[in-house]
Chain A
Amino acid sequence: EDQVTQSPEALRLQEGESSSLNCSYTVSGLRGLFWYRQDPGKGPEFLFTLYSAGEEKEKERLKATLTKKESFLHITAPKPEDSATYLCAVREGAQKLVFGQGTRLTINP
């Protein structure tokens, strides 16, 4: 069974302080690794999809990278509006996504 583990559970940074979130996974044949952002009381918002080791994608202050066992979401010079819970998921089978428990990120001004 596919498993996804995210660390840390919570992370508090100062504005401008760069860091990384980790997503470790075990899956028999990766069909896609997904990153989402979720604000309190709202549905997850799609950020990135990665398919193969070595792949990288960027969006504003965020960059996602992928290896054979884990993915990192790098946050460069974050701003308070980057505060949210970041969810990682892997595709299981043809359509199902299996999610990690998320990392709650807080950026203090």
Chain B
Amino acid sequence: DGGITQSPKYLFRKEGQNVTLSCEQNLNHDAMYWYRQDPGQGLRLIYYSQIVNDFQKGDIAEGYSVSREKKESFPLTVTSAQKNPTAFYLCASNGQGGGYTFGSGTRLTVV
């Protein structure tokens, strides 16, 4: 079955540590996205990529970095510069318009 796989489901980060969230899709979609969701809030765009080796900042890119070396993969690194990283992170992909397909999310907690 085609879809998006995010891993891990739960992730714990110590102060000053970088962590990387994985996102893999087998839908052959060109565009991929990272969103952050905080309790009681909507989704906010962190980064997006419309094609391999190219990506753009979203509305809240500070403290995050991404890469897009393969069409199937769009990993997100939460750096130590992100002062409030505790949140639910969602990866999505999109083909030729229409609705996004979302992964099941990664819950990141600072310990």
Interface residues of A (CB under 8 A from B): 4, 6, 9, 32, 34, 36, 41-46, 49, 87, 89, 94-102
Contact = CB atoms under 8 A, between A and B. Distances in A.
Interface in B29-82: 31, 33, 35, 40-45, 48, 50, 58
B20 interface: no
Contact of B105 (A6, A41, A100, A101): A41
Contacts of B35: 99
Contact of B42 (A34, A94, A99): A99
A96 B50 CA distance: 10
A95 B50 contact: yes
A4 B44 CA distance: 12
Chain A interface main SS type:
strand
A100 B104 contact: no
A46 B104 contact: no
A44 B101 CA distance: 8
Interface residues of B, number: 28
Contact of A101 (B41, B50, B97, B102): B41
Given A32-B97, A101-B40, A102-B42, A96 B103 contact: no
Contacts of B102: 36, 43-45
B105 A42 contact: yes
A47 to B, nearest CB: 8
B22 interface: no
A44 B90 contact: yes
Nearest to B9: A41
Contacts of A94: 50
A86 to B, nearest CB: 11
